[in-house]
Amino acid sequence: MNCDEVEDILGAYALDALPGELSADVTAHLATCSKHPEAAELRAVAGALAFAAPEAQPSAALKTRLLEALREESEPADAAPRRIGILGWLKPPVRQRAVPYALAGALVIALIALVITNVGGSDEPRRAASSLSGENNAGAVVYELEDGIIVLDAEGLKPLDTAQTYQLWSIASGKPSSLGLIGTAPNGEALAVVRADLNAIESLAVTIEPAGGSIAPTTDPVLEGKV
Amino acid sequence: MSPDLIDPSERNTHREDGDLADGLRRRDPLAMEILYERLGRQAFGLAYRILGDGPSAEDAVQEALLTVWRQADRIDAARGRLNSFVLTLVHHKAIDALRVKRGQQARQISVDFAEVEKVGADFSERVLQSIASGEVRAALTRLPEEQRRPIEMAYYEGLTHLEIAAALDLPLGTVKSRLRLGLEKLRVALRAGSGDELRRS
Ligand SMILES: [Zn+2]
């Protein structure tokens, strides 16, 4: 394949619209010829088309299914490193220097609160934290991980049988919307990462629902708190 | 805590994605949850645009994210790259599923990670900036129909240039040049969108 032949089909190549053999020929040519500097950029532009499709909301079941599949493929996870893992998302220097792995839950939560108030400068006001409380020392801390993504870190949740699940709700103008289901560790700890706009929410609540979750809460909250 | 806790200048997205990539490499499910919450709707939107039905689109997203999980050692840490990398995988999976649906052979037997990574690496900063501002959709909409349609058929329907020529009843040469011309226009539009043109010229 010569340079002209490559140029002739470069648009189709960038869009992966060539039969396999032809595409491989172009790739081979580009690997050794420097006369097609626009090839990489056309490919980047073609790749950017992924962002031209409108966003759409998958069913809540997809996340559950995905996380189950991960669990099946992974070593059984220890609850503690998972909780400590949260601190990892709030910047490595803090995690590495200040937080030994053996910290008890309450201390971790206190530290998270401390970390939240300390990370970043004035350019990071969006990391607002909130807390939820319930009976029997059940409680949770909520904070914003990045724009529109929050993490609920709970403890003291009694283990449920497989017929039931914890479900997280946001409440705005008195109306609850599901933010997703929450899995708990045997020790009563739970972490949930969900999308939520804290600015548009008045309060958060956790209820016990039938497995698979409910469209609206069917029981009184076991945890709740204002945002 | 000491005041030198965090240097604000280090708190850029690049660094944050380094953490996310690290988390994926450590096989921390939390990292995948964050990635899912960040990108799930865009990924599903893309797969849905290609496949046209929810269950197949969800399968494509799930397969792509599992591929990321299994091969996390190979991902690039930079934020825009990680996003584009994941979406490239979603695109591959969805197009393969579409071709199977149509009774055609899946074009990629399995996703070639090195190839996907190369595409991700090709994303220049300026294109990424344009992506962030939602510029791509607008630029595509502004293309003349005769260029936009073949590009959409290639990208969202997984058709080869021969199949596009047959479907539109156009000579192959015309399709080749419209694909190229359309991409060139998108490139110019994305550059203009990010202000790069000004810096360059
Ligand atoms: Zn050449």
Angle, helices B125-132 vs B135-142, to 10°: value is 90
Nearest to B155 among A46, A93, A119 (CB): A46
- The number of residues making up chain B comes to 201
Q: Which of A86-100, A111-125, B10-24, B146-160 has the highest mean pLDDT?
A: B146-160
pLDDT for position B130: 57
Nearest to A12 among B32, B107, B161 (CB): B161
Tens digits of residue pLDDT in A125-165: 335 468 899 988 899 988 787 778 888 889 899 989 989 99
Which among A64, A58, A102 has a CA at the least distance from the CA of A83?
A: A102
What average pLDDT does range A24-47 have in this prediction? 90
Give contacts of A119 with chain B, Cβ < 8 Å. Answer: 5-6, 11
Distance of alpha carbon A129 from alpha carbon A116, whole angstroms: 7
Give contacts of B57 with chain A, Cβ < 8 Å. Answer: 56, 58
Is the entire prediction scored with pTM above 0.90?
A: no
- Tell me if B29 and A55 make a contact (CB, 8 A cut-off): no
Beta bridge mates, A164: A210
Find the residue in A nearest to B4 (Cα). Answer: A93
Give contacts of B48 with chain A, Cβ < 8 Å. Answer: 53, 56
Distance A4 CA to ligand 1 centre (A): 7
pLDDT for position A48: 86
Question: If phi over 0 gives left and psi between -120 and 50 gives alpha, with beta otherwise, what is residue A16?
Answer: left
Query: Which value does ipTM take for this structure?
Result: 0.81
What average pLDDT does range B174-191 have in this prediction? 92
Compute the Cα dihedral for B174, B179, B181, B182 and give only its sign. positive
Tens digits of residue pLDDT in B94-148: 999 998 988 876 665 444 555 555 554 555 555 655 565 578 888 999 999 999 9
pLDDT for position B158: 93
Size of interface A-B (CB pairs under 8 A): 226
Tens digits of residue pLDDT in B48-79: 999 999 999 999 999 999 999 988 887 765 55
pLDDT for position A113: 42
- Tell me if B6 and A146 make a contact (CB, 8 A cut-off): no
Instruction: List domains and CATH numbers for chain A.
Output: 3-52 (no CATH), 60-226 (2.60.40)
pLDDT for position B24: 86
Q: Is the pLDDT of residue A90 over 70?
A: no
Give contacts of B154 with chain A, Cβ < 8 Å. Answer: 12, 15-17
Find the residue in B nearest to A24 (Cα). Answer: B115
Q: Any residues with CB less than 8 A from the CB of A4 and at least 6 apart, and which?
A: none
Distance B174 CA to ligand 1 centre (A): 22
CATH 1.10.1740.10 intervals, chain B = 7-122
B134-201 fold: Arc Repressor Mutant, subunit A (1.10.10)
Mean pLDDT of chain B: 78
- Tell me if B61 and A62 make a contact (CB, 8 A cut-off): yes
- Which of B99, B109, B151, B194 is the best mutation test for A, with the most CBs of A within 10 A? B151
pLDDT for position B120: 47
How far, rounded to the nearest angstrom, does the alpha carbon of residue B194 sit from its chain's CA centroid?
A: 18
Terminal alpha carbon distance of chain A: 63
pLDDT for position A20: 84
- The number of residues making up chain A comes to 227
Which among B39, B67, B200 has a CA at the least distance from the CA of B125?
A: B200
pLDDT for position B54: 96
Distance of alpha carbon A37 from alpha carbon A180, whole angstroms: 47
CATH 1.10.10.10 intervals, chain B = 134-201
Q: Is the pLDDT of residue A91 over 50?
A: no
B7-122 fold: Rna Polymerase Sigma Factor; Chain: A (1.10.1740)
pLDDT for position A41: 84
Beta bridge mates, A180: A168
- Tell me if A17 and B34 make a contact (CB, 8 A cut-off): no
Distance of alpha carbon A127 from alpha carbon A147, whole angstroms: 9
